[in-house]
Structure 1
Amino acid sequence: MYVPKEFQEKDLQQLITEMKKNGFGILLSNNNEAKIEATHLPFIIHEEGEKLFLITHLAKPNPQWKSINGKECLIIFQGPHAYISATWYEEKNTVSTWNYTAIHAYGNVEAITDKDEMRKIVLRTTDYFEKGQAKPWRYEDHQEYVEKLLSGIVCLKIEVTELIGKKKLSQNHTMERREKVIAALKSEEKYSSKEIAELMKGKEQE
């Protein structure tokens, strides 16, 4: 990912926090024919000392897992985004753009097919995403059904080797322009306009 200096997010802990907040990403890898494959997946972000792991599972009929074990992959976590109209600057010689945040995580893949390990991963994933539900889903209530499903999945444990964070929030524009963009975004209903406005306000306060 191309990241100009003004858009870099260098705080690794901040990137990890944002991945935990938005745990749904896109797993990209090359298959044995050098064709790019992609799967949209939920990820558990797990820290072990200084190491960082992304853990997920996918359907066994999905061919991506068959060529990924022991290789490098890329996971993309797309954050909020919004269209920025050049008309908001109220100046000549300006162009429209797009503000957004994104995290790219590179890592090495270990495929896990042991049923006991997969059960632990699936239950851990469910527990994580069920937090806050009025009546969380419980394995004990669906044990027989879940055990049958385990034969149809494969789990992946990815050790992260590089994290790249990008926050494109009009940092390359003047304070006056940024304030005009924030005001305009607050009245927009498309995309993640209001969330981008809040992120831009936060950048101004740093």
Structure 2
Amino acid sequence: MRTNPSFALDDRAEIRRLIEQNPWVTLVSNTSTGLVASHYPVILDANAPADEIVIVSHVGRPDERLHELGQHEVLVVVQGPHGYISPGWYDANPAVPTWNFISAHLHGMPEILSDAENLEVLGTLVDHFEDRMPEPRRMNGTLANAEYSARISAGTVGFRLTVARFEAKSKLSQNRPAETVERIIHELADGDTYYRQPALAAEMRRVHDATAVQGETPEVPRA
């Protein structure tokens, strides 16, 4: 990921928040036979030390062989809200379009979980998403569920990834004047266009409001 100090995101709390709100990630491995990519949901490990970013999940067999999981470092790509930004939302001056986004690249060596740990992680993963349902379905709510879950879990391989390093970017028009930012947010939230992205508008509002409270002046990026 190209670095730019004006858009750099290095706050670990913000990275955790990005993962929590965007749990569907891309897992990339540089294997002995070439690049392999898969897509899975992840959650933060609630038992991890406060100063670390640790995620847990699973892959379906035979992805663990395709990725050579546990044999080398992997890259996990987390993609937050993103969307097209038209120069027509700026002003009358010549300008080019751009794309606003939030993204993080997480690097680390995955730890393969035992069968018991994998089953526990699967249950936690299901609970994490089912908790929002009016009648949550649990993996281990009954004996029948537990027996079924044990059979299903055999087709998966669980892993824990402690993030050794990360690169992240939050490109949300920090290099634009406040009035331009307001126009962009309006178009993304309420504009009558194909490019409406309310989630991106909300994220821009959150970040720019926080910057205004801190009294910071955005730095204009240099090429």
TM-score (norm 2): 0.83
CA distance in 2, matches of 1:84, 1:177: 11
In structure 1, stretches of 5+ residues that fail to align are: none
CA distance in 1, matches of 2:12, 2:21: 14
Aligned to 1:104, the other structure's residue is in SS state strand
The answer to whether 1:6 aligns with 2:6 is yes
Pick closer, same or farther for the CA change 1:64–1:3 going to 2, 3 Å.
farther
Matches within 5 A, 1:23-38: 23-33=23-33, 35-38=34-37
CA deviation after TM superposition for structure 1 residue 143, in Å: 2.2
The answer to whether 1:180 aligns with 2:180 is no
Runs of 4+ in 1 over 4 A off after TM superposition: 63-66, 188-192
1:63-82 CA distance string (max 9 Å, x none): 55551214111111110111
Matches within 5 A, 1:56-71: 56-62=57-63, 64=65, 67-71=68-72
CA distance in 1, matches of 2:44, 2:108: 13
Matches within 5 A, 1:96-107: 96-107=97-108
Q: Percent identity?
A: 27
How many residues of Structure 1 are paired with residues of Structure 2 in the alignment? 204
The answer to whether 1:165 aligns with 2:136 is no
Higher strand content, 1 or 2:
1
- Within the candidate set 129, 148, 167, 1:145 is matched to 148
In structure 2, the residue matched to 1:123 is 123
CA deviation after TM superposition for structure 1 residue 192, in Å: 6.2
CA deviation after TM superposition for structure 1 residue 38, in Å: 0.9
TM-score (norm 1): 0.89
Contact 1:12 1:163 in 2 (8 A): no
